[in-house]
Structures are given as C-alpha cells and as structure tokens.
Amino acid sequence: MKVKVLKDSNELGKEAAMFSAKSINKAVAEKGKARIVLSTGVSQFDTLKYLVKMNVDWQKVEIFHLDEYVGLPEDHPASFRKYLKERFVDIVHPGKIFFINGEDGFEKYIRILTQNIREEPIDLALVGIGENGHIAFNDPPADFETKEAYWERFCHAIGKESLIFDDCFCTNDLRSLNYDQLQPIITEWSERITIKEILNILEKVGVPVGEANAVDKILEDPNIKLREMIIELQHPRAGAVKIANTPLRLSETPAKIETASPLFGQHTDELLNDLLGYTQEKISELRASEII
C-alpha cells in the first residue's frame, strides 16, 4: 500500500483527482471504457470538485454508487443520490450511472447493482474511511430528524465533528448558553484563514454565511451597489452627501428618497402654508413673536 500525507483536504482532493483521472484514462485507452465506484460524504467534496475539471471522456465511464441510507427519499438533504447528482453526475454526464435506491424494494436495486459490478473488473474505487473506521464517511449515529442541520455541516466544515453531539452545544439554546466555551473553539479555526476562505468553505457545504463589513467596505459591496442602497443627494450646507436608500422595492408604488435631511426649521413655512393654510403675513407674525 502506498500512503501519501498531504497538508490539507484541498491538496488531498487535488492529488486524488489527478490520480483518479490518470487511472480512468488508462482504462479507457486499454479497454475502451472505465468502471469506477464512488462513495459520498464531506470528505469527498474536494476530490469531486477537482475531478469534474479533469480531462476525461466521461461518456466512456460507468459509475457505481457505493452506498445509500435505507428508506431515505432522494430529495432529502442527506440523500447520497442527491449529493452525487448535484456534485458530480449532473456536471460530467457519465456514460452509465448505477444508483442505489434505498426506498421501497431496495433489495432489488442492490441485486441489480451487484450483478452489474460483477460483470467486469472495477478499475477505480474512491472509498473513504471515517474517523471510526466506517467506510464511506458515515460516522454514526445518523439522525435524519435533526433540527440542527446547519450546525452539523458547520462542525464538519471546521473539522470539529465531535461538537455535533457535545451536550454543551448540540442545540441552539445550549450554544447560546455556553457561548463563552464555544467562541474560542471557533475563533481558533477562523483566525488561521482569511474571510474569503471562511466564506468559500461554509458556502460550499450550504451553511448560510456573510461578511460583517466595516462601514468603508459596505459602500463598496457589490450587492449594495446593485440594489442602489447608497445614493447621493445635495444637502443645503454639506453639499453632496451619501445616504442609505430605502430597502423597499415596490413595483406599483416605488419608494424614493428625494432630499437630504433638512436643516432645523427648513420646511416650517411650507408646512404652515400648504397644510394649515396660514398666510405669509400670519407666518411672519408667528416668527416675530418667536412662536416659530
């Protein structure tokens, strides 16, 4: 067995993808096709990310899906079929793909898969071993009724899977209660990488995330510019000033800010005349009496 130790999952994924592409192309050149087995899990993210970019004639590749949960529909967030389709199959469009259907009658699909695998030798298998030695990354227990899906993805992303079932952090209320213990753990991870890297890592696993911008960065944020959330208006004393635009975007009654903040008493005459019907003479008397 040849073992390679690389500095992180990204380098490991790239190395595994290059090796896989070389093996697949060799099989295609020698036999006219390649037969491969793919497993699924967080640990495969980087490998598949690079593998879909490799120069491979995927129409000459047959893929066998390694594992699936029994009784889990394909549209479930934890479905391995959903995972494999979104991250690989729908991108490279292989010649043949044999999925495991874990729903009703799954024994039939297992028999069909087994029969097809046994027809010819497998050229390549991407099979991972999880922390507890379980093949294909499914480290039990698996809870499909979890209300903490984002928390679990987050823990996997930062390499702290042990936090998922920690009695101090397994619910949002507990994480809030034990924030002083949790904050240093997250900080230790986040301080080692850039904000851009944090965003990329968490977005990749489907965890909602956004940068907390300083004021100067907010003004340059592309989404802020696209929505025209900062506009420039003329102020009677300060000249051109930038202010926050209304966030409301209504098709039939669009909101609009037309003037900058007024000076003290700037619209007094206008309001008294237009709304209350005061004459200019009456307004002058009120001003002379220092009532306004």
Q: How far is the C-alpha of 156 from the C-alpha of 159, rounded, in Å? A: 5
What are 165's two structure tokens? 């079932």
Give this prediction's pTM: 0.46
pLDDT in tens, 247-281: 888 888 888 888 888 888 888 988 898 888 999 98
- What's the pLDDT band for 147 if we cut at 50, 70, 90? low
CA 220 from chain centre, in angstroms, equals 22
- What's the pLDDT band for 23 if we cut at 50, 70, 90? very high
What are 199's two structure tokens? 């965003």
Asked if pLDDT for residue 130 goes beyond 70, the answer is: no
What lies within 8 Å, CB to CB, of 174 at 6+ separation is 167, 168
pLDDT in tens, 25-78: 999 999 999 999 988 776 678 889 999 999 999 999 999 988 777 777 888 877
- Residue ranges, comma separated, of all CATH 3.40.50.1360 domains in the chain are 9-126
Per CATH, the number for 9-126 is 3.40.50.1360
Strands 239-244 and 230-235: antiparallel
pLDDT (mean) for 86-99: 92
Least confident of 1-5, 105-109, 128-132: 128-132
Q: What is the pLDDT of residue 141?
A: 43
